[in-house]
Amino acid sequence: MGLTCNIDRRGRRLRGALGGLLILGSLGLAVGAWLTGRHAALGLPSGVLMVLGLFGIFEGLNGWCAVRAMGFKTPI
């Protein structure tokens, strides 16, 4: 399965922006974990948000949407 372009410019921008916001949220959780000492409670959610944010930026840069590649129609 190749990564053929399946989203337009609006979709690419949206996915990139959402990816950036997820990364900022991840960093916020990581700083919160560091400040409060709750590494065990906030480490996993922070890591998950980071991975999702990086994947969103990957989708935006490549013009490829995983959900659309599975056959679902998305509005953007």
What's the pLDDT score for residue 1?
58
Judge contact between 16 and 63, C-beta under 8 A.
no
What's the pLDDT score for residue 64?
93
Helices (H), the chain: 9-36, 39-62, 66-69
Terminal-to-terminal C-alpha distance of the chain: 22
Q: Which residues of the chain have pLDDT under 70?
A: 1
Residue 74 is encoded by which pair of tokens?
């998305």
Give Cβ neighbours of residue 60 (< 8 Å, ≥ 6 apart).
Answer: 12, 13, 14, 15, 16, 17, 19
